[in-house]
Amino acid sequence: MKAPAGVVTLKTPEQIAIMRRAGRVVAEMLRATREAVRPGISTAELDAIATKVLARSGARSNFLHYGQPPYPAVICTSVNDEIVHGIPTKKRVLREGDIVGIDAGAIIDGWHADAAITVPVGRVSPEAARLIEVTEQALRAGIAQTRPGKRLGDVGAAIQSLAESSGYSVVRQYGGHGIGRQMHEDGPFVPNWGDADRGLPIREGLTVAIEPMINIGGWDTRLLPDGWTVVTADGSLSAHFEHTVAVLRDGPEILTVPG
């Protein structure tokens, strides 16, 4: 998301318990769509699979009709140089060697969860496979810092140092976000870069979506005329992983995991 930092609301254990249920639905949306990824499938078919998971889980979509122009699907599918917010269509058929970012969200009883993975389509180049691996590692490194006593700068610094030491760049125009009663809360903004020991102190009850977007080339982005799809300005490959995380007294809990 793209937003300045605003009011940060801490959640109770009861509220986090509902977000955990929403997180399980998101994990199932990602599991089902990941399993379906293969050369020849369209991104609209992946969206249909995710829609069925929402329906049978009794959950609502937080992506559908979001924003302006109203977002038309329940997942985002971002292929190759598309960083985030790619719109699923019947025309976008995945091909051997592509990589596809799948971003999914769900609402249960008014509480939101949001997560993303990047998946290889068939056999991909070693360069693409390494980008996916490093981006997922960067998310894990960021989550490990998301604990009481740390600051948001520690999260961003961990992600940035892993990405840049691998020769990649971190997208700067977008980052993670507070999440709870809304998918994108007013605060905090969670940058995927920064200085250790700086920024908002992390406290018990904080719930954030952490989502590194990492490019093989430069970090600059461009918005396509559909008003949603964000691509790398230089056409290089990009990967994206995301989890919704709750800060408990003794450390982070990833909410977007299977039950």
User: Footprint of Mg ion on this chain (CB under 5 A)?
Assistant: 114, 209
Closest approach, Cβ 258 to Mg ion, in A, equals 19
114-129: b (≥16 Cβ within 10 Å) or e: bbbbbbbbeebeeebe
| Choice between 114 and 253, CB closer to Mg ion | 114
Cα separation of 33 and 27, whole Å?
10
Closest approach, Cβ 183 to Mg ion, in A, equals 7
Helices (H) and strands (E) in the chain, counts: 4, 14
3-class DSSP state for residue 153?
Answer: helix
| Choice between 28 and 114, CB closer to Mg ion | 114
| Choice between 107 and 124, CB closer to Mg ion | 107
Closest approach, Cβ 250 to Mg ion, in A, equals 25
Cα separation of 213 and 23, whole Å?
20
DSSP 29-67: HHHHHHHH--TT-BHHHHHHHHHHHHHHHT-B-SSTT-T
Closest approach, Cβ 75 to Mg ion, in A, equals 12
Cα separation of 61 and 22, whole Å?
10
| Choice between 136 and 234, CB closer to Mg ion | 136
| Choice between 186 and 234, CB closer to Mg ion | 186
Question: How does strand 213-215 pair with strand 176-178?
Answer: unpaired
| Choice between 105 and 124, CB closer to Mg ion | 105
Let me know the angle formed at the C-alpha of 141 by 111 and 7, rounded to the nearest 5 degrees.
Answer: 40
Closest approach, Cβ 182 to Mg ion, in A, equals 11
Closest approach, Cβ 174 to Mg ion, in A, equals 9
